[in-house]
C-alpha cells in the first residue's frame, strides 16, 4: 500500500524534473499550464471552481454591504405562507423552490458555498502545513525521528476518517471551530506521508548536495530546495483532499454534528429533507447537487493537475 | 509464508493499543465528565467527588487507560450512562447488522466495479467505456447519504418498490430492506474500484506477454483473467483495502439515513445523549475492525504479490 504511493510520487517528481531539462526552454509551470489547457474537462472544472469561489466571496460582500439585512430576511428569515413551494422560473427566489420554513433554497445554496469552500480549504491548508512539517522532518532526517513520526501517523490512519472526525466532535462539542479541528487532524497523516515520500525522492539529488556544500542550513535546504520540488505532488493531493473534506463537512452537518441549522450549509439543509419527501422533492435535490458538482469539479481539476504534471503516467 | 503472517499479526498488537489510547485520549477531552452527566443537575460537589472516585475518574489518564484495556480484554466496555445497559452487549447486538451492511456493500462494489473496469479497459474509448468512466467519476463525487436520500425518493416514495427505512425481520424482507442502504454505502467504493480496475488493466493490456499469449492461441477469456487480471490485481486490492475505512465511515452515516440498527446509528445516538463510554466503545470496535480488515488485505498481498511470496518462501 505504502510502496504504491511512494512510486507514484517518485514518478511525478522525476518526470516533472525531466520536463525542465527537455530543452524546450519552458519552465515546469509554463509546461504544466500548456498541458492543462489541453484537458478540456479540467478547464471546465476550473471554471466551475472559480464560479464557486466568486459566489462565496460575493455573498460575503453582500452580507457586509447590507449589514446582514439580506441574510436575515432571505437566508435565515422564515416565510411560512410559502413553505415547500415548488420550484418555478417566475422569480429568482423560487428558482429551486422553498424549504419547510419558506426560505429560498436557491439563495441558501448560494450562501452555503462559503462553508464547504472555506472550511474545506482552510482545513486542508492547516493539514498541509502540519503534515508538511512532520513529513519533511521525517523524510529529511530519516532514522529514529522518521520512525517515531511515521508510526504515530500509522496509528492515526488506523482510525477510519469519518469516525475519527465524529469522535473529535463528540468529545469537543458541536461548533464550526470544532468541526474544523475534527476535519483537520485526521487529514494530517496522509499529508505527512505524501510530503515524506516527495522529500525522500529529492533529498539525495546533486543540487541538495551542492546547497549543503555551499553551507546552507537544514532549514534553508528544506524550505528552498526540497519543498519547491515536492510542491507538485502536494498540490495534487491537497486538491483531492479538499473534495474529500467537502464530503466530510456535509456528512457531519447532515448528522447535526457540524454546521447547525439555520445556517445554510448544504449537508445541514438535507437533515430535515426526509420528513418532507412526499410534498417537496426539491428540498433534497438541490443542496445535494451543489455538493456533487463541487466535489466533482475538484476531483476532475485534481486529476487534470496530476496529468499535467506527469504526462507519462497512464490513467 | 507463516513468518510473514505471524509478523503482521504481532505488529497489529501495538497498533491496536495505540489506537485505543488515541481514541481514549480524545474522548477524555469531553468538557463534562461522567460523574456530571450521570448526576445531572442534582450533583453536589461532594456527591460528584464520591462518584468520580467510584468510577476511577480521579486517577491519572494513563491508569484509567490501562484499566480500560484490562476490562476490554475481558469483553467489558462499561455501562451506558443513559440506559445502564452493558455497552459490549449493546455493541455486539448491533455489530452483525453493521457487518451485513458493510459486507454486502463490498460485495456489490467488487461485483460491479471489477467487471465494469475490465470491460471498460478492453473496449477503451468506446461508448461503453465513456459511459462507465463518466458514471464512475460522478459516483466518486456524490455524497453517500444524499445518494441514499435520492434512492428513497425514487424507489420508496415515487415507485413504492422498496422500504424507506428500518431493517426487515424475515429474510426476504431483510434483503429487500438491505438493497437501498447497501447500494448507498457502496457507491463511492464501487466508483473507485471501477476506476482503479480500468487504469491498471490498461497498464497490462499493452504488455508484450499479452500478445505472446494471444499468438500462442490462448483463449481470450483465459488471456483476460489469467494473464491480465491477475497482473492488474495488486493495485485493485490496495484500493479495496483503502476503501474499507471509507466504507465503515460511510455506513455510520448511511445507517442514520435508513434508521439501520447498527453501530453507526448507535454511535450517533450516543453522541446526542452525551453517552461517552458508548461512543468510546463504538469507535474502538470499528477501529479494531478496520485494522483487522487492513491486516486481511496485507495478507492477501502475500498471496497475490510474488515479490512478497518469494521473500518469505524459504
Residue B306's pLDDT is what?
A: 67
Mean pLDDT of B225-250: 84
Using the Cβ of A245 and the Cβ atoms of chain B, whether some distance falls under 8 Å is answered with no
Mean pLDDT of A46-56: 93
From chain B, the residues in CB contact with A267 under 8 A are 143, 145
Mean pLDDT of A75-104: 81
From chain A, the residues in CB contact with B163 under 8 A are none
Q: Give per-residue pLDDT as tens, B267-301.
A: 999 888 888 888 889 988 988 888 888 888 888 87
The H-assigned helical ranges of chain A are: 2-20, 28-38, 40-65, 69-70, 105-114, 120-141, 143-157, 161-172, 176-184, 188-202, 206-213, 218-220, 227-254, 266-270, 282-309
Residue A54's pLDDT is what?
A: 94
Question: Is residue B176 over pLDDT 50?
Answer: yes
Interface contact B150-A291, CB threshold 8 A: no
Of B138, B145, B279, the CB nearest to A251: B145
Of B18, B149, B271, the CB nearest to A170: B271
Question: Is residue A207 over pLDDT 60?
Answer: yes
Q: Give per-residue pLDDT as tens, B101-149.
A: 999 999 999 999 999 999 999 888 889 999 999 999 999 899 988 988 8
From chain A, the residues in CB contact with B267 under 8 A are 163, 166, 170
Q: Three-state DSSP class for B140? A: coil
Mean pLDDT, chain A, as a whole number? Answer: 84
What does the DSSP 8-state code read for residue A1? -
Question: Is residue A122 over pLDDT 90?
Answer: yes
> What distance lies between CA B180 and its chain's CA centroid?
17
Nearest 10 degrees: Cα torsion A56, A58, A62, A68: 10
From chain A, the residues in CB contact with B191 under 8 A are none
Question: Is residue A55 over pLDDT 90?
Answer: yes
Kindly identify which residue of chain A lies nearest to residue B254, measuring between CA atoms.
A251
Residue B114's pLDDT is what?
A: 93
The H-assigned helical ranges of B56-126 are: 61-73, 87-122
| CA gap B110, B277 in Å, rounded | 35
Residue A100's pLDDT is what?
A: 81
Mean pLDDT, chain B, as a whole number? Answer: 85
> Which has more confidence, B265 or B40?
B265
Interface contact B253-A255, CB threshold 8 A: yes
Kindly identify which residue of chain A lies nearest to residue B204, measuring between CA atoms.
A314
Residue A314's pLDDT is what?
A: 40
Mutation for testing the A interface, residue in B145, B155, B254, B268 having most A CBs under 10 Å: B145
Residue A149's pLDDT is what?
A: 93
Mutation for testing the B interface, residue in A3, A4, A148, A166 having most B CBs under 10 Å: A166
Mean pLDDT of A182-187: 92
Question: What residues form DSSP beta bridges with B86?
Answer: B79
Going from N- to C-terminal start, the domains of chain A cover: 28-68+96-309
From chain B, the residues in CB contact with A281 under 8 A are 153
CATH architecture of A28-68+96-309: Orthogonal Bundle (1.10)
Mean pLDDT of A117-130: 92
Please report the domains of chain B, with CATH numbers, ordered by start residue.
Answer: 94-312 (1.10.3720.10)
Of B241, B242, B287, the CB nearest to A158: B287
Q: How confident is residue A126, by pLDDT bands cut at 50, 70 and 90?
A: very high
Biggest CA pair distance of chain A: 76
Predicted TM-score of the model (pTM): 0.85
Residue A4's pLDDT is what?
A: 46
From chain B, the residues in CB contact with A287 under 8 A are 146
Q: How confident is residue A25, by pLDDT bands cut at 50, 70 and 90?
A: low
Residue B312's pLDDT is what?
A: 65
From chain A, the residues in CB contact with B291 under 8 A are 158
Q: Which of residues 265-284 of B touch A (CB under 8 A)?
A: 267-268, 270-272, 276, 279, 283
Which grid cell is A315?
490513467
Q: How confident is residue B313, by pLDDT bands cut at 50, 70 and 90?
A: low
Question: Is residue A29 over pLDDT 80?
Answer: no
Amino acid at each position: 500500500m505504502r510502496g504504491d504511493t511512494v512510486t507514484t510520487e517518485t514518478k511525478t517528481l522525476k518526470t516533472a524534473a525531466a520536463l525542465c531539462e527537455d530543452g524546450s526552454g519552458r519552465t515546469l509551470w509554463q509546461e504544466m499550464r500548456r498541458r492543462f489547457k489541453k484537458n478540456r474537462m479540467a478547464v471546465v472544472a476550473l471554471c466551475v471552481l472559480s464560479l464557486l469561489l466568486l459566489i462565496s466571496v460575493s455573498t460575503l460582500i453582500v452580507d457586509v454591504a447590507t449589514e446582514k439585512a439580506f441574510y436575515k430576511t432571505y437566508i435565515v428569515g422564515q416565510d411560512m405562507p410559502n413553505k415547500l413551494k415548488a420550484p418555478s422560473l417566475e422569480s429568482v427566489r423560487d428558482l429551486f423552490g422553498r424549504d419547510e420554513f419558506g426560505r429560498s433554497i436557491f439563495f441558501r445554496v448560494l450562501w452555503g458555498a462559503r462553508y464547504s469552500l472555506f472550511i474545506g480549504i482552510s482545513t486542508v491548508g492547516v493539514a498541509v502545513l502540519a503534515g508538511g512539517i512532520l513529513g519533511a522532518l521525517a523524510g529529511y532526517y530519516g532514522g529514529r525521528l522518521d520512525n517515531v513520526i511515521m508510526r504515530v501517523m500509522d496509528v492515526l490512519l488506523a482510525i477510519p476518517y469519518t469516525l475519527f472526525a465524529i469522535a473529535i466532535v463528540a468529545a469537543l462539542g458541536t461548533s464550526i471551530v470544532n468541526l474544523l479541528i475534527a476535519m483537520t487532524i485526521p487529514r494530517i497523516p496522509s499529508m505527512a506521508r505524501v510530503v515524506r515520500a516527495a522529500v525522500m525522492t529529492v533529498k539525495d539529488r546533486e543540487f541538495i548536495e551542492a546547497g549543503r556544500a555551499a553551507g546552507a542550513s537544514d532549514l534553508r535546504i528544506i524550505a528552498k530546495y526540497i519543498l519547491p520540488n515536492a510542491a507538485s505532488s502536494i498540490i495534487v493531493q491537497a486538491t483531492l483532499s479538499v473534495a474529500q473534506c467537502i464530503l466530510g463537512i456535509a456528512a457531519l452537518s447532515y448528522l447535526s454534528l457540524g454546521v447547525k441549522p439555520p445556517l445554510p450549509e448544504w449537508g445541514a439543509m438535507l437533515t430535515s429533507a426526509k420528513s418532507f419527501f412526499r410534498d417537496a422533492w426539491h428540498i433534497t435535490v438541490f443542496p445535494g447537487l451543489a455538493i456533487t458538482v463541487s466535489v466533482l469539479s475538484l476531483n476532475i481539476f485534481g486529476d487534470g493537475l496530476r496529468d499535467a504534471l506527469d504526462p507519462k503516467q497512464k490513467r | 509464508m507463516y513468518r510473514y503472517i505471524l509478523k503482521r499479526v504481532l505488529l497489529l498488537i501495538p497498533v491496536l493499543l495505540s489506537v485505543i489510547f488515541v481514541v481514549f485520549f480524545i474522548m477524555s477531552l469531553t468538557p463534562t465528565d461522567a460523574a456530571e452527566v450521570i448526576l445531572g443537575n442534582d450533583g453536589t460537589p461532594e456527591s460528584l467527588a464520591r462518584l468520580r472516585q467510584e468510577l476511577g475518574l480521579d486517577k491519572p489518564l494513563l491508569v484509567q487507560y490501562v484499566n480500560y484495556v484490562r476490562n476490554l480484554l475481558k469483553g467489558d466496555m462499561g455501562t451506558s450512562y443513559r440506559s445502564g445497559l452493558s455497552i459490549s452487549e449493546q455493541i455486539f447486538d448491533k455489530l452483525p447488522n453493521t457487518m451485513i451492511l458493510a459486507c454486502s456493500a463490498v460485495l456489490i462494489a467488487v461485483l460491479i466495479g471489477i467487471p465494469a473496469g475490465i470491460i471498460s479497459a478492453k473496449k477503451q474509448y468506446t461508448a461503453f467505456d465513456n459511459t462507465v468512466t463518466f458514471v464512475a467519476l460522478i459516483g466518486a463525487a456524490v455524497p453517500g447519504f444524499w445518494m441514499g436520500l435520492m434512492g428513497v425518493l425514487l424507489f420508496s416514495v415515487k415507485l413504492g418498490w422498496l422500504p424507506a427505512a428500518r431493517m426487515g425481520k424475515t429474510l426476504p424482507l431483510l434483503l429487500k430492506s438491505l438493497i437501498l442502504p447497501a447500494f448507498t454505502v457502496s457507491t463511492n467504493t464501487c466508483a473507485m474500484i471501477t476506476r482503479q480496475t480500468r487504469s491498471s488493466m490498461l497498464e497490462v493490456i499493452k504488455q508484450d506477454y499479452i500478445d505472446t499469449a494471444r499468438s500462442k492461441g490462448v483463449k481470450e477469456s483465459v488471456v483476460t483473467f489469467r494473464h491480465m487480471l491477475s497482473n492488474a490485481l495488486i493495485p485493485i486490492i490496495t484500493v479495496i483495502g483503502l476503501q474499507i475505512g471509507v466504507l465503515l465511515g460511510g455506513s455510520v452515516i448511511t445507517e442514520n439515513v435508513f434508521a439501520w440498527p447498527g453501530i453507526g446509528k448507535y454511535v450517533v445516538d450516543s453522541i446526542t445523549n452525551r453517552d461517552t463510554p458508548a461512543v468510546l466503545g463504538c469507535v474502538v470496535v470499528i477501529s479494531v475492525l478496520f485494522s483487522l480488515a487492513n491486516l486481511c488485505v496485507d495478507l492477501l498481498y502475500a498471496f497475490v504479490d510474488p515479490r512478497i511470496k518469494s521473500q518469505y518462501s524459504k
